[in-house]
């Protein structure tokens, strides 16, 4: 998944202390691009490099040349075209007066595809397509909550958005669905609120809060933080310089499901320890990069992980996918087109439900709202290994 960050600090020394470690932590599994938008300068910078690659050569210049680094930051995990990364596909995106960064995956609902055919044909990535649609509703009304609901009604998938409107220069708009998480903390110096930091991940915020508190102890500053979580299916706004709680505008949606379209599920082997966990392993194969890019898109559309697809290939052709040539890969692509996402997931979801019932104490986290089935277990081998580990653990305890 991508990672979103928003920072608004009164003390820029504190902001500059934490922005590099936070974005580098966020980029550990999100290495397909990095970008930021600085509010004070209306400055947008994007690169196809990861944050961890970008910072070593740019830190001194960035921290010295910008007096104020409050803004939106984004690290990207590409859903498509991983073999052809471009800086222009990194976030945030800017269209007219709107600046948007997105975490999630969206598609235009089938019943609106004709109305937005020009946007679909443009082959823009999902986040940019959404911004194009949102812009039309946004500029036609002063009710931004209503504009967001109308735009989301045209899409299916998952989302968390950070949106800045240049015509409302003191506000950040935040919208998130049920499947995405956003955490933030307010920084205090004594009793005074001096900063707000929002991030997709929570443990990264824990790490950063420890940096701030240790810094305070070293330099005799009474720094502390107070944590919050943004509610599901809501739209909120934050006023710059207030350093207080985020203000709720209202519900936008609970889910974005399109019954006539396939719901896209992120390939999960990005997080697994499977032997084939990315297309980088295929660099010695003889098939063309164009076909591998098509295969990546097909896997993504089916909701398969890379390891799922590679296991299917080896079962069909009795050889590893790294040996595939154009003819075999084309044959495999034709076969994948016949697969239905329900076939891919139904059995394993039942297995997962059974495991949760058999080992309830070990799977309390599985019953959280935002987890229905852990996609890092897409592969059958991963599921079998999990059962063995739990059985061994139980027998040891007994």
Residue 292 or residue 376, greater confidence: 292
Total domain count for the chain? 2
**pLDDT of 108 higher than 90:** no
Q: Domain check: are 290 and 189 in the same one?
A: no
Q: Domain check: are 288 and 236 in the same one?
A: no
How far does Cα 206 stand from its chain's mean position?
A: 19
How many beta carbons lie within 10 A of that of residue 255, not counting itself? 13
In a domain, 257, yes or no: no
Q: Domain check: are 238 and 337 in the same one?
A: no
- Determine the Cα–Cα distance for residues 372 and 353; give it in Å rounded to an integer: 9
In a domain, 237, yes or no: yes
pLDDT in tens, 37-68: 999 988 899 999 999 999 999 998 898 878 89
- Determine the Cα–Cα distance for residues 155 and 135; give it in Å rounded to an integer: 14
Q: Domain check: are 328 and 194 in the same one?
A: no
Question: Is the whole-model pTM more than 0.75?
Answer: no
- Determine the Cα–Cα distance for residues 327 and 106; give it in Å rounded to an integer: 32
| Confidence at 102, pLDDT banded by 50, 70, 90 | very high
Contact 378, 343 (CB under 8 A): no
Across residues 118-127, what is the average pLDDT? 75
Q: Which domain holds residue 366?
A: 265-398
What's the chain's Rg over C-alpha atoms? 22
| Confidence at 174, pLDDT banded by 50, 70, 90 | very high
Beta strands in the chain (DSSP E): 3-9, 34-38, 43-47, 71-75, 93-95, 98-108, 155-165, 171-176, 183-189, 192-199, 223-229, 234-239, 247-251
pLDDT in tens, 324-366: 778 888 888 877 765 544 444 555 566 666 666 666 555 544 4
pLDDT in tens, 308-323: 677 667 666 666 676 7
């Amino acid at each position: 998944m991508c990672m979103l960050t928003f920072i608004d600090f009164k003390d820029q020394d504190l902001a500059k202390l934490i922005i590099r470690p936070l974005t580098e932590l966020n980029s550990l599994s999100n290495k397909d691009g990095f970008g930021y938008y600085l509010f004070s300068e209306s400055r947008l910078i994007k690169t196809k490099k990861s944050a961890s690659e970008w910072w070593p050569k740019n830190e001194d210049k960035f921290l010295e040349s910008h007096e104020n680094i409050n803004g939106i930051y984004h690290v990207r995990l590409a859903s498509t075209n991983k073999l052809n990364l471009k800086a222009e596909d990194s976030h945030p995106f800017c269209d007219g007066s709107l600046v948007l960064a997105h975490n999630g995956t969206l598609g235009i609902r089938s019943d609106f595809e004709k109305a937005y055919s020009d946007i679909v044909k443009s082959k823009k990535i999902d986040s940019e397509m959404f911004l194009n649609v949102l812009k039309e509703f946004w500029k036609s009304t002063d009710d931004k909550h209503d504009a967001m609901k109308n735009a989301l009604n045209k899409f299916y998938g998952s989302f968390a958005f950070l949106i800045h409107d240049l015509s409302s220069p003191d506000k950040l708009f935040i919208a998130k669905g049920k499947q995405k998480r956003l955490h933030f903390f307010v920084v205090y110096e004594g009793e005074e609120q001096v900063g707000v930091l929002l991030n997709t991940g929570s443990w990264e915020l824990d790490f950063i809060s420890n940096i701030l508190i240790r810094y305070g102890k070293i330099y005799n500053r009474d720094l502390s933080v107070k944590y919050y979580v943004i509610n599901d299916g809501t739209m909120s706004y934050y006023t710059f310089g207030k350093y207080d709680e985020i203000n709720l505008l209202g519900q936008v949606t609970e889910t974005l499901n399109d019954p006539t379209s396939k719901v896209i599920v992120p390939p999960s082997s990005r997080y697994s320890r499977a032997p084939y966990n990315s297309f980088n392993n295929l660099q010695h194969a003889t098939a063309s990069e164009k076909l591998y890019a098509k295969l990546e898109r097909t896997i993504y559309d089916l909701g398969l992980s890379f390891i799922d697809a590679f296991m299917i290939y080896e079962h069909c052709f009795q050889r590893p996918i790294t040996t595939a040539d154009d003819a075999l890969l084309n044959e495999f692509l034709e076969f994948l087109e016949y697969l239905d996402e329900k076939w891919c997931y139904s059995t394993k979801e039942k297995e997962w439900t059974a495991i949760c019932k058999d080992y309830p104490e070990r799977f309390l986290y599985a019953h959280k709202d935002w987890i229905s089935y852990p996609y890092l277990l897409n592969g059958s081998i991963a599921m079998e290994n999990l059962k063995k580990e739990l059985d061994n653990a139980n027998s040891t305890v007994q």
